[in-house]
Amino acid sequence: MSTESIPFRDTNYFSSLLCDYLDEKEQLQSCYDNFPHLANFKDQIDAKGKSFSLENRAVLVQVLQKQYRKIETTKKVNANIDSLGASNTFTITTGHQLNLFTGPLYFLYKIISTINLCKTLKEEYKDQNFIPVYWMATEDHDFDEIKYFNLYGKKIQWNRTSQGPVGRLTTKGLDKVYEIFAAEIGVGKNADYLKALFKKAYLESATLAEATRYIANELFGVHGLVVIDADDKDVKNLFVPYMQKELLQGTTVKAIEPTIKTLQKSGYNIQVNPRDINLFYITDTLRERIIKKENTFYVNDTEIVWQETELIKELHENPERFSPNVLLRPLYQEVMLPNLCYIGGGGELAYWLELKELFVEMEVPLPILLLRNSALLQTAKQSKKMVKLGVTTQDLFLKQHELINKKVRQISNIDIDFGPQKEHLQQQFQDLYALAEQTDASFINAVKAQEVKQLKGLANLEQRLLKAQRLKLSDQVARLTSLQNELFPNQNLQERVKNFSEFYLEYGEDLIAELMEYLHPLNAEFVVLTN
């Protein structure tokens, strides 16, 4: 493969908050402790090593061994689980929803970033061990977000209803999804592997959590990936003191509201706003918010009610029934794992950047926050089309109308750029403003109205001429838009839409090997890979 890198800011697909974080802008430095530079991991190792107990490690190992009893995995995974009991072992973690058949392509990028960072850290810090962890979002209840994946522009969907934590869902009905998927991908070595993977995962597992662990293990077990399901009573026990403080003191909202106000003053959009209590109450068929009114606690839209002493008794006796929301889940993760770094997408890092003061209040080290690798996969044929059309890779990241207008201007035999005319008109109106001030200042508004009207007229004329040229050059425009639509489905990043199976059908087992070679997590740029 050949590679090309583009700064995230230049792709126009990432927020100003994220781009400013990557640029280490001063206004965001209060929102984190250690930036993801290799040298900064030393301080992170020291901080986490001092705060994470051997007792917590023992619980973690026991829970993981229990969760892996039903699954056949590699010696490397088993060794990694055992090593988590040692004080010199640390994790690098990514998390993801339980999307059907992994969902969007970036599922692979998240995990590959995590595995590759562990390798880089081991080379630098030889006395420590670094374990890649995939945290399954088993307690999430937004089934509509995960019940499908896209294949060749078609939505392959699991038609059923769900109300409780998605990880506990039975796999009933996925045999019909398998039949549709198998028919779509046809036959051949790579297709047969994908069909076997889907069938084994979803038709032979009891729950969606088990099926997702099986797939992740099949794809990445050889690299030592450890998959964890935090919907577990034993590890929830470790989190009870933090949940109690949240229930009784509303710690999250108090801790992070000042940070949110600071971010808003700097012009950033807020990813997630806190609630008074950031915990859900869950059963197999329920995940609803816990609400406090005066001195009584309720589960939203149910008849479940507690007084304070009753609630705390329920928390201590049944901690598995309490589930952190999106803002409290990061703290749960860091209490549960000897973690150094969280690797996530732009949206995830946006809400992690709200949380530093919560971690300070709870006396838990905030992990290093690292943006996952992003990539565009293109074929040599698509690359040749780009050359033939005279466009660059970066051109294709433009909005489609911007790309078309830019190309039309390039290949047109007339210059459809009214910039000079607009400048000339504005200069003329500057003279008219000066004249109005010398004669009657009340005419200034009338002059301004004429300026706006005539500039708008020029802009409309420019657009009409561009439209006429697009029609005249329709063949080139059609080939250009066709290429962009191939690489940016639905005018979105490929990694956010397509499923890995499309690429596995073409590349086979080389797909993950190639991505492992070319995705470097500490290289903070968007990567274009051409094969």
> 59 and 89 share a domain?
yes
CB 470 within 8 A of CB 404: yes
Helix axes 106-124, 510-518, angle to 10 degrees: 50
93 bridge partner residues = 133, 342
CB 407 within 8 A of CB 391: yes
CB 393 within 8 A of CB 385: no
Q: What is the pLDDT of residues 409-443, one digit of tens each?
A: 777 655 567 777 878 888 888 888 888 887 777 77
Residue 155 lies in a domain: no
CA 286-289-292 angle, to 5 degrees, is 135
Q: What is the C-alpha separation between 46 and 127, in angstroms, rounded?
A: 13
3-state secondary structure of 296: strand
Helix axes 106-124, 208-220, angle to 10 degrees: 50
> 355 and 218 share a domain?
yes
Residue 390 lies in a domain: yes
22's tokens: 């990557």
> 83 and 226 share a domain?
yes
Mean pLDDT of 435-458: 82
Q: What is the pLDDT of residues 221-273, one digit of tens each?
A: 999 999 999 999 999 999 999 999 999 999 999 999 999 999 999 999 999 99
CATH number, residue 97: 3.40.50
Mean pLDDT of 486-513: 97
The answer to pTM > 0.85 is yes
Long-range contacts formed by 175-182: CB under 8 A, 24+ apart: 175/203, 177/100, 177/202, 178/202, 178/203, 180/156, 181/101, 181/151, 181/156
Long-range contacts formed by 247-253: CB under 8 A, 24+ apart: 247/277, 247/279, 247/290, 247/292, 247/297, 247/311, 247/312, 247/315, 248/308, 248/312, 250/276, 250/277, 251/358, 251/361, 251/362, 252/278, 252/327, 252/328, 252/358, 253/278
Q: Is the pLDDT of residue 305 over 70?
A: yes
CA 151-156-157 angle, to 5 degrees, is 155
- What is the reported pLDDT for 412? 67
Q: What is the C-alpha separation between 113 and 132, in angstroms, rounded?
A: 9
Residue 80 lies in a domain: yes
Q: What is the pLDDT of residues 344-390, one digit of tens each?
A: 999 999 999 999 999 999 999 999 999 999 999 999 999 999 999 99
> Phi and psi for 165 in degrees, rounded to 5?
-60, 130
Q: What is the C-alpha separation between 192 and 148, in angstroms, rounded?
A: 21
Residue 333 one-letter amino acid: Q
- CA 514 vs. chain centroid, Å, equals 21
Residue matched to tokens 């207008």: 405
Residue 304 lies in a domain: yes
- What is the reported pLDDT for 449? 85
CA dihedral sign, ordered 139, 141, 146, 148: positive
> 443 and 396 share a domain?
no
- What is the reported pLDDT for 458? 81
> 99 and 135 share a domain?
yes
Residue 171 lies in a domain: no
Band (454; pLDDT cuts 50, 70, 90): confident
Mean pLDDT of 441-465: 82
- What is the reported pLDDT for 507? 95
Q: Is the pLDDT of residue 18 over 90?
A: yes
Number of H helices, E strands in the chain: 23, 15
394's tokens: 């970066």
Q: If you ran DSSP here, which 8-state letter would residue 366 be given? A: P
492's tokens: 């979105």
200's tokens: 């084994």
Looking from the CA of 231 toward its CB, the CA atoms found within 13 Å total 24
Question: Exposed (0-12), middle (13-18) or buried (19+): which is 56, by Cβ within 10 Å?
Answer: middle
Mean pLDDT of 463-474: 72
Band (327; pLDDT cuts 50, 70, 90): very high
- What is the reported pLDDT for 435? 80
Give the structural domain span for 223: 2-146+210-235+328-374+514-530
> To the nearest whole percent, how much of the chain has pLDDT over 70?
98
Q: What is the C-alpha separation between 131 and 116, in angstroms, rounded?
A: 10
Residues 6 or more apart from 516 whose CB is under 8 A from it? 112, 115, 116, 223
- What is the reported pLDDT for 457? 84
> 69 and 104 share a domain?
yes
Q: What is the pLDDT of residues 41-87, one digit of tens each?
A: 999 999 999 999 999 999 999 999 999 998 999 999 999 999 999 99
CA 388-393-398 angle, to 5 degrees, is 110
Q: What is the C-alpha separation between 95 and 333, in angstroms, rounded?
A: 10
- What is the reported pLDDT for 426? 85
- What is the reported pLDDT for 416? 60
- What is the reported pLDDT for 446? 84
> 337 and 403 share a domain?
no
> 401 and 302 share a domain?
no
Helix axes 233-249, 308-317, angle to 10 degrees: 160
Q: Is the pLDDT of residue 405 over 80?
A: yes
Q: Is the pLDDT of residue 154 over 80?
A: yes
Number of domains in the chain: 4
> 15 and 72 share a domain?
yes
> 354 and 431 share a domain?
no
- What is the reported pLDDT for 228? 98
Choosing from 324, 339, 364, the residue where a domain stops is 324
Average pLDDT, the chain: 94
> 463 and 520 share a domain?
no
Q: If you ran DSSP here, which 8-state letter would residue 520 be given? A: -
Question: Exposed (0-12), middle (13-18) or buried (19+): which is 230, by Cβ within 10 Å?
Answer: buried
197's tokens: 């993977």
Q: What is the pLDDT of residues 85-120, one digit of tens each?
A: 999 999 999 999 999 999 999 999 999 999 999 999
Residue 178 lies in a domain: no
- What is the reported pLDDT for 466? 72
Q: Is the pLDDT of residue 485 over 90?
A: yes
Residue 107 lies in a domain: yes
DSSP string for 322-337: EEE-TTTHHHHHHHHS
> 396 and 291 share a domain?
no
Residue 167 lies in a domain: no
Q: What is the C-alpha separation between 499 and 472, in angstroms, rounded?
A: 37
Band (451; pLDDT cuts 50, 70, 90): confident
